[in-house]
Amino acid sequence: MNPTDPIHTGTTAADTLENLLTVRHSCRAFLPTPLPRTTIEKLLSIAQRSPSWCNTQPWQVHIVSGTVLDEFRDRYVGRARQSEGSADLELPLAYRGKYLARRRECGFALYSSLGIAREDKVRAAEQALENYRFFGAPHLAVISTERDLGAYGAVDCGGYISVFLLAAASLGVAAVPQAAVAMHSAFVREFLKVPDGRQVVAGIAFGLERTDHPSNAFRTTRADIDDVATWVGEHVR
Of residues 159, 115, 140, the one with CA closest to residue 205 = 140
Q: What are phi and psi of 15, to 5 degrees?
A: -60, -45
Span 205-220, pLDDT tens digits:
999 999 999 999 999 9
Q: Which domains are delineated in the chain? A: 13-90+132-211 (3.40.109.10)
Span 20-71, pLDDT tens digits:
999 999 999 999 999 999 999 999 999 999 999 999 999 999 999 999 999 9
The size of the chain, in residues, is 237
Name the β-bridge partners of 211: none
Counting residues of the chain whose pLDDT is more than 90, the rounded percentage is 92
